[in-house]
Amino acid sequence: MSDHEQWNEETLVENRMIEQLQTLGYTYIHGKDLQDERISQAEVILVNRLTKAIKRLNPWLDENNLNKVIRRITHIEATSVMEANQSFHDMLISKISITQDLGTGRKNHTVQLIDFDNIDNNDFIVTNQISYTHANVTNRPDLILYVNGLPLVVIECKSPRLQPEEQIGQGVTQLLRYQKENEPLFYYNQFLVATSNDRAKVGTIGAKVQHYSAWKEPYPLKVEEGDSAQDILTLGILEKERLFDLILNFIVYEPEDGRVIKKMARYQQYRAVNKAVERILTGEHPQARGGVVWATQGSGKSLAMVFLSMKLRRVEELENPVIVVVTDRQDLDQQITGTFKRCGFPNPRQAETVEELKTLLQQGPGSTVMTLVQ
C-alpha cells in the first residue's frame, strides 16, 4: 500500500469515524497510550479499567470475589470462539452470579459488568494503532471500541479509492483473518464493522461478506445533509444508547445445521421493533397501541418477533407481559416456535386447541404462547 493510500484511508475513513465517535461521547486514546495499561500485547481486555468499572458498579463486592469475577471474564472456558462469545454475551446480559455474605448470610448476588440503565456510568473508549499478539502472530485492527475495558466492537477501515466491490470485501476478509489468528479478542466481540466511508457494513463473528449488511437509517436519529454511509452506520449502531439497545435486545444465537450462528438485527427489524414498542407504551387507546409491519418473504419476520418479545420482557412498565404469537399456517407456527426456542427464549408453549389456549393464557406474567388463528 502506498503512503498516499495509507494516508487517504486514515484521514478519510479512520479519523472521520474517531471524530464522530468523540462527538457521541467516546474518549479517544491512542493505542500506544493504552499499551501502558496492558501487561502484554497478548491481553485483549484492559484489566485495570474493567476492575475499576466492576468496583464502581458493584461497591459491595469483596476483594476475593472481585478477583473471581475478573478471572471468570479473562479465562472463559470454551471449545470454540462462538461458544466463548455466547458465554460472555450471557455474562453481560444475565450478569455474573457470586456468593457473598452482605450481613444476612451467604447468598447469591449478581455482578454487573456494564450499567445498561445509566449509560454515562460506563467508560467508553475508541482507540487505534493497538496491537494484539497471539501465538506469535500480531494483528492491528484499525479501530477498537472498549466499554469498561471490554473490546466490544472491532472496525476495519478501507480506502474509498479501491474498486467499489472490493471496499467491504477486503475489510471483511481482514476481519475474518483476525478472528482466525487471535480468537481471544473475539470472545468479547458484539459485532464487527467494515467501512470505506462511502460504504459501511456490520456483521457478527464468523459471518462471510454476504452476511454483512448496511445500516441505511439511524432510527430514531436523523441524517444530516452530507452524511456518508459510514456516518449513518456510526450514528445508527455505535451511538451509546443504540449500542446498548442492540447488545441487550437485538442479538441472538441460533443453532443451524449442527453449528451456532450469531445473528444481529438488520436496520429494518430494529426500526420496526422499536416503533412497535413505542406505540405499545404511548398509544392512548388499544387501536393506537397496535400496527402493521409490511415485510417481504425472507426479511426476517420470525427473528423480528423474537427481538420484539425480548425487548417487551425488559420494559419495566409492562411488568413481564404475556406474549401471544398467532399465525395462520401450521408450518409457520412450527417455524416461529422453533425460532423462539432456538434463540433461547424462555419456555414458548404451543396451544393446540381453544381449551389449551385458555389455560395457557391464565398462566400469568412471563408466559409466551404460540397458536394458530383457526
Distances (CA, A) of 123 to 12, 114, 151, 345, 367: 26, 9, 12, 30, 36
Which residues, 6+ apart, have CB-to-CB distance to 186 below 8 Å? 81, 85, 154, 178, 179, 205
For residues 360-373, one letter each, b for 16 or more C-beta atoms within 10 angstroms of the residue's C-beta and e for the rest, the string is beeeeeebbbbbee
DSSP secondary structure code for residue 47 in this structure: H
Q: What is the mean pLDDT of the chain?
A: 90
DSSP secondary structure code for residue 118 in this structure: S
Q: Which of 175, 270, 162, 288 is nearest to 214 (CA)?
A: 270
Q: What is the mean pLDDT of residues 177-201?
A: 97
pLDDT at 344 over 90: no
pLDDT score for 6: 55
Q: What is the mean pLDDT of residues 129-152?
A: 96
pLDDT confidence tier of residue 269, bands split at 50, 70 and 90? very high
Q: Which of 342, 341, 182 is nearest to 350 (CA)?
A: 341
- Over residues 63-92, the pLDDT tens digits come to 999 999 999 999 999 999 999 999 999 999
Question: From CA 249, how far away is CA 307, in angstroms rounded?
Answer: 6
Identity (one letter) of the amino acid at 42?
A: A
Q: Which residue has the cell 497478548?
A: 42
pLDDT score for 84: 97
pLDDT at 264 over 90: yes
The structure's pTM equals 0.92
pLDDT score for 19: 96
